[in-house]
Amino acid sequence: MKLKNAIEWFWLIVKYTLVGLSIALVIRGFLFIPVPVEGNSMQNTLTQGDFVLMEKFTDIERFDVIVFQMADGTTYIKRVIGMPGDTVSYRGDQLFINDQLIEEPFLAENLAHDEERIPYTNDFEFEELMGVKKLGKGSYFVLGDNRRMSKDSRSFGAISEENILGKARIVYYPFKRIHLV
């Protein structure tokens, strides 16, 4: 009788392990996907060597940090500044969306350590930069938080909704940098 109980316990453990692994694979493959951070364009929010979990099931909102892929296969992580239908401009290091001044609290740490006397974000007017009056349907304007070192919509244009892979949600590695994005 003891052997039968041991065999039953063994198979129960095997079943629970397989179910647990299956759930973990589904979560990792479809809900939360690990993405490495390369480069310093999102400094201090994200740094070179961070690993973030990306999710694909919530809508994109202004100031979300997104992961997207360009036509050449290059993957970027940037912050959404302009949404479909918006115009975006910078004047005197201030963000204007649809001609309304908008605060950028996520830049506070970067600006606090900035000893240079040059603008953090160079001035631009949307129509001059993008060649259109406003962002089209399914188009997003993205910038890196490290504005002086970021290759973003100012250089490669608006991001199409189809190119967005998901939103960066959590830095999970290195452990000393674990935080919500």
pLDDT in tens, 117-160: 677 888 899 999 899 999 999 999 999 999 988 999 999 999 99
Tell me: do 28 and 45 sit in the same domain.
no
Tell me: do 90 and 146 sit in the same domain.
yes
Closest by Cα among 58, 69, 83 to 167:
58
Q: Note every long-range contact of 29-34, with CB atoms under 8 Å and residues 24 or more positions apart, other chains counting.
A: 30/56, 31/55, 31/56, 31/57, 32/169, 33/165, 33/166, 34/172
Domain encompassing residue 148: 37-180
Tell me: do 69 and 137 sit in the same domain.
yes
pLDDT of residue 31 exceeding 90: no
How many separate domains does the chain show?
A: 2
Tell me: do 4 and 86 sit in the same domain.
no
Q: What tokens does 173 get?
A: 């590695």
Please say whether the beta carbons of 97 and 135 come within 8 A: no
Tell me: do 26 and 83 sit in the same domain.
no
Q: Average pLDDT for residues 89-114, to the nearest whole number? A: 88
Peptide bond into 174 cis (omega under 30): yes
Tell me: do 27 and 67 sit in the same domain.
no
Tell me: do 103 and 138 sit in the same domain.
yes
Cα 9 to Cα 4: distance, rounded to the nearest angstrom? 9
Q: Which residues are catalytic?
A: 41, 78
Tell me: do 85 and 167 sit in the same domain.
yes
Instruction: Report the CATH number that the domain containing residue 100 is assigned in CATH.
Output: 2.10.109.10
pLDDT of residue 7 exceeding 90: no
Closest by Cα among 73, 90, 77 to 33:
77
Tell me: do 23 and 78 sit in the same domain.
no
pLDDT of residue 91 exceeding 80: yes
pTM value is: 0.82
Closest by Cα among 175, 180, 174 to 37:
174
Q: 110 or 63: whose pLDDT is higher? A: 63
Tell me: do 23 and 46 sit in the same domain.
no
Measured between its terminal Cα atoms, the distance across the chain in Å is 55
Strand 88-91 to 65-69 pairing: unpaired
Tell me: do 85 and 137 sit in the same domain.
yes
Tell me: do 137 and 53 sit in the same domain.
yes
Confidence of residue 76 (pLDDT cuts 50, 70, 90): very high
Please tell me the predicted confidence (pLDDT) of residue 80.
Answer: 97
Cα 100 to Cα 166: distance, rounded to the nearest angstrom? 28
